[in-house]
Structure 1
Amino acid sequence: MKKLLMTGLTIGALLGTVACSNTADNNDNKAAQTQTQKETTKTEINQEKTINNMAMKITSDNIVNDDTLKNDQSLLAVHFTIKNNGKVDYGVGAGDFYIKDSKGNKYKMYGHEDNFGDVIKPGKTLQGIGYYAIPKDATNLTVVYDKAVDTSKNDKTLEWNIGTPKTAK
């Protein structure tokens, strides 16, 4: 009888241990999924924002291959769509934006031949890509519009949280 009781307790303890370890794994997986969802939902990709009658939107971002950078840097490509809803021509380009990380570090436009920039006529839309050299381990990034040449001394800026960029496939 004692042997049967000991065997039953041993089997019960083993089953309890296995059940608890699976629960812990499931909790870890759920926590990782929740963190990924939070990072995904925090971004403001495709969110239109307006300043000075200019409707601006970041449509996507990704890390692109570039052999001219230092080993600890990546090249971030940010895709913009900008519409002039005003009544006068408006000049805008990649140099009017910079990247900011969660520590407050700023990364300005990288001298890439494909950086966008043009004067947008009223009612017209400009689409283009801005390139920015960022650290390889950069996370929780924000794109900031801060017109490079602002004669109006306007302190207003726009910001889009783009999260952590992904490498192009």
Structure 2
Amino acid sequence: MPVPERLEQFAARHARTDPAPPTDPRVPLESAGGRNRRRVNGGPMEIWINPECSKCQSALTILDAEQADYTVRYYLEQPPTVEELNEVLAHLELEPWDIARLGEPLAGQLGLATWPREAADRDRWTAALAENPVLIQRPIITADDTASIARSPEAVHAALRRNDNDPTPSN
């Protein structure tokens, strides 16, 4: 299938139709207006994406192919809070500098590469990521008490396996 046709199909599957953004990042699509989040199969997983990112597009394609239940969060338009970032970082078992996109022009403008990477600097890093979500590595898949940076097909499949092994009953 030619690339333009695949991109059109991707855009059609993940299009946002309502211009009103939700006020609460955890509100399901049905009550949030759907602009910054899109529920697919009503699922417990959430994937933070930039729709322009090829890694995000690939991750969504895999989730769709596996008929996964997930919610899309357009995290550039609806940035995670510092608290959400801290929760995801705890699940990832990483520090904020580990998920920073240091190659972004904004990272260079802020001088992120030169910032100290010590426990005392963690809040500064987390605040910078929350204020500038373009600096957050993507895509990130979250589910209950797990999180994955899903840049490769293997990472997406691993996130699906972890979610499948969740003993929590679904409704």
> Shorter-chain TM-score category?
under 0.3
Structure 1 length normalisation: TM-score? 0.23
Which is helix-richer, 1 or 2?
Answer: 2
Larger Rg: 1
Structure 2 length normalisation: TM-score? 0.23
Which is strand-richer, 1 or 2?
Answer: 1
